[in-house]
Chains A and B, each alone.
Chain A
Amino acid sequence: MPVPFFLILAPLLAAIILLIFNNKQVRFLTVIVCATALFVGCFRLLLDTLANNIIYFKVESHIITQVMLLLEICLAVFLIYIGIKNRKFWIVTLAFLQTLAITIFELVYKHAIIVEHDIFIDKFSVIMALIVGVIGGLIGIYALGYMKDFHQHFRKEVKDNRNMFFFLIFVFLSAMFGVIFSNNLLWLYFFWEITTVCSFLLIGYKGNEESKNNSLKALKFNLIGGLAFAVGIIYLFVTNNIIELDKLMSMSKSLVLLPVLLISFAGLTKSAQLPFSGWLLGAMVAPTPVSALLHSTTMVKAGVYIIVRLAALLQGTTCGFMIALVGGITFLITTFLAVSQSDAKKVLAYSTIANLGLIVLCAGVGTYEAVWAAVLLIIFHAVAKCLLFLCVGVIEHKIHSRNIEDMSGLIVTMPKLSIMLQIGMSGMFLAPFGMLISKWAALQALVDYNPLLAMFVVFGSSATLFFWVKWIGRLLTVTNSDLNDHEEGITKTQWFPLISLSVLTVAMCGLFSVVAHFLIEPYIQEIYGTTITLSKGNLFIMSIMLMMVLLFPLSFFNYGKRVKVVDAYLCGANTPKGTSFYGSLGDIKAIQMKSYYLEKYFNEKKLLSVSFVVCILILIFAVISTFI
């Protein structure tokens, strides 16, 4: 069986097993076996593709297409039912319209649609497959231990639907592989909608009022994208008689601009760009594996994946420039918003949207340098962000809080986790780690194309630094109030993914030139005929920097010998206990150190309302530009 089919079907089989058997050992075994199978499958795929360029597969697809159509109709009925039950008019309309359109389209044009290849693999597919397979597998393993703690914590409030949870996670993984490997746009659309439904059901897992509202919001926004996708596909076929991605990519830009814009629009909603960012923020109520898997590393990556695929068609067009602007504005504004948040998951969510905005900015520009940077950003962001979410998930269970201010002194109370958290955060913005390299590449690509677009990165990256270092600093500040070890009781199924991802984050800085050489550069070469190679001198310097940073933990060996430990300077009003002082009336006060959140200046309401209006206007202009 060719590997792509294996990768789509294996998680599906695992999902069915996980749904039927609600037994702990069966669940454990199935997840581990499936995760291992995915790792192996993805590496096999890597080896296959290194030898060849692009591999295509044709499937005798009539039955499959009909089954897909049937499933889409069933899902639409389900969603319409949900919409009616919760009195959400938009959901009913959107689900109805898009399924009606696709059904009529497929029935009317049944014999006119000729598909040459349904499935394909090229080097970019391999990169995405590795991300989904490796990170998806690790999150699956993590979820085993996490959900056990989760249900212990929420014993009274949340019903234990773990079999449904794992079923949905693995169905989702299967659908993601489907999105990555589909050449047939109708198949892509089908898998895309499956991810929407999985996301909806998983966000609402807790079953309380807040989760239900947020899951419906996510559903609404993703359905808007789905409708645009459907209209785009139909328009594409009616005007150009093609329904395959590779054929679309070989068309001339002026003929296919509107469908490309519509499909990119679907990508924008899926990746929560402004003005659609609200659903991702709301999705943070879901359990951490959901946030890590869907809402930072894979599903939202499907959104930018499709835009990066279409980047060559967007290059040089007004439409592409408008999409780039949306990405740039999203990057800038959501970075500012991340500064003002103290809820750790919200910070991570805004940071995710910001990085996706950066990828969209590069994809909208569409030059070979920009796409190179975009692919690099996808890889590094997926690894580092996943690590961060998983860490925050474990920390939340142990200290019972998601607030950054409560993570004070974590370096002492949870040393291993805080180090992994710091690795993840450094991976997000610090030289010589991955995201910095990607941002550097993006900056250079943007300056070459249009320096004004680079200004988004210039101003945004300074704000990025602010909130990450503020958080790292919070972990390091110790005020002697709570020095107990909180790290007992973390299961091996949670440690393993955390340690693997930490190692991967660090290793990727060293290895990224290898990845770039074997995967990214050939892909760019295939599409554009020319590519970038990294300067060896810079690589060497960055390796030196990496080595220096990695040697930092050595400090713990020469741990403060020949120093005299004193209390912090408190103007001489120290009490014998180092962290409190005598107030003006002689009473004892504890010292308080609160970080700056600048809420007055980076106010969520104000910034979002202004940027929503701006981005909507830009998108309207983008549509108009396709007709000019």
Chain B
Amino acid sequence: MKAAAELDGKKNAEAGKYLTFKLDSEEYGLKIQKVKEIIGVMSITKVPKTPDYVRGVINLRGMVIPVVDLREKFGLAAVIDTKETCIIVVEIMKAAGIVSTGLLVDSVSEVADIGEKDIEAAPVFGGDTNTSYILGMAKLRGGIKILLDIENVLSTEEIVEIEKLK
């Protein structure tokens, strides 16, 4: 079965340390190298004419960065922020240089060391479903974590949409 899964999807995830977090009951993982810091939720200034999944902007020690609501991005129902709600600040490489973005998540779990053998290829669902943002699936202590390619999740196309809204 493993072979079949590999044939179907690409295994892009590398072994290493991943920061795991929760949205609803699903667990996700991000490469720790991309994570700059984790902060508790703070007041977010709404910015008009931005996609729904952009909650707004925050002040991070003088730097103004946008915050993406991952629940909204993944199509999950909205919930009220709790005291567990966090913003994970990630740094990704764009054409203009290194860019910081905040990800709003329900809660943060841990930094997990995921080995090569624990990673399986992303499943192919068929049809048009774009799963390019999934690096792979990791099996850890009975649960499955979805390893995300954060660059793909925040791909340029979406931000360019803002330009088109003009």
A binds B: no
